[in-house]
Structure 1
């Protein structure tokens, strides 16, 4: 099959490329856009390390083809911080509450939590666990991650007042 031209906005920047139909969004972001914060773990959509936002929805970059994102807006972990490098509320909470250890899963968690708290700014602990059930961490035992999500939610709610 012939290569296909796509046009996507990645972290606010328009990108045009010609890609193989089977190129995953995660590989496109890493190889063509040089945004390596989107990690590849299982490459089966189970671990969540490759989570990005596609038109505001958290998706597994390893399960979406780049051609499926044509015309879409993609936000990677690199696009979550402010342009001046100021950490987002979620990133700051992960930092302050030790929501990471080796850091491999962190970009996927941060991206997932960003979308999750946008849709549910006052989650219960049970909702947080359910909302993050698609992201796996092999280091932290999740307590720091849960504390970070709670803290980010509290900060978001305080700022909304």
Structure 2
């Protein structure tokens, strides 16, 4: 991260106001970096323009990996490494492997999704968090605008944010 990243931070005290502000700010040609809220706001992701998440695809792929690994482990141990006749069944007794395969699939998916979450949100040990305003975890709604991504001046963007209902507009540098 470059130390000269400048952000304008609009602080709102109402969820409806911030949702209206997002649409107004986007219509005026300003690119919004992110909106931080203490609770989810229905329709905010669509208003900001976030693409549809690919997390279900990742979960499916982790599940397939888990199923393949567990199935391979069971097949190796029960057919090749230590074949035993249990209850008069064949070494390759697929119905008996279903519960263990299901549990392995769930285990790989869970661990894979935790890892995906940590990597995609940059939550590794030693990472300094980028906090625009601590009140966003309590009762305020924070709309951030990266000045490097916008052609309008800082004073223009500040006046637009105040016109949309921001109770304060701050400059934050990282």
The alignment's TM-score, normalised by the length of structure 1, stands at 0.28
Query: Which structure has the larger Rg over C-alpha atoms?
Result: 2
Higher RCO, 1 vs 2 (CA within 8 Å, ≥6 residues apart): 2
Larger relative helix fraction? 2
The alignment's TM-score, normalised by the length of structure 2, stands at 0.27
